[in-house]
Amino acid sequence: MTPTKTAPQNDLPEVYIDDILMTLKYFTDEHEVHLKIIDPQVCMNCESKPCVQFCPVGAYRTQDGGTVQIAFQSCVECGTCRVLCPNSNISWKLPRGGYGVAYKFG
Ligand code: SF4
Ligand code: SF4
């Protein structure tokens, strides 16, 4: 079946998340991680692992054995994982001053 085109809802330009992510700069703090899993065992028992789906940059990855690893270097500090982990199993804080993501357009 041929996909149907829908009429544009407004005059806003199309936005591609990958293009936006390319404009970001990251200043990774390798000495003080700003988010981490509190108890890996809790993740092993978390069947749906929603963090893998809801993180906009895919920082959460499932590992063999059912634990979860966070690529904190790519975090854009949206705070979603801070509030949506159903088990409150993520320790989250803003990076220290001078570290973290820098948004080109504010
Ligand atoms: S949603 Fe929370 S408890 Fe579940 S796997 Fe992710 S970090 Fe672990
Ligand atoms: S704060 Fe946002 S970008 Fe960073 S790890 Fe959590 S969900 Fe992903």
pLDDT, tens digit, for every residue of 85-104?
A: 999 999 999 999 889 998 87
CA-wise closest residue to 75 among 43, 28, 37: 28
Predicted TM-score (pTM) of this structure:
0.81
* Ligand 1 closest atom vs CA 37: 7
66 lines ligand 1 (CB under 6 A): no
Q: Is the pLDDT of residue 7 over 60?
A: no
Contact 81, 92 (CB under 8 A): yes
Mean pLDDT, the chain, whole residue set: 88
- Tell me which ligand sits closest to the C-alpha of residue 90: 1
- In the chain the domains, ranked by start, together with CATH numbers, are 33-102 (3.30.70.20)
Question: In this structure, are residues 15 and 56 in contact, taking their beta carbons and an 8 Å threshold?
Answer: no
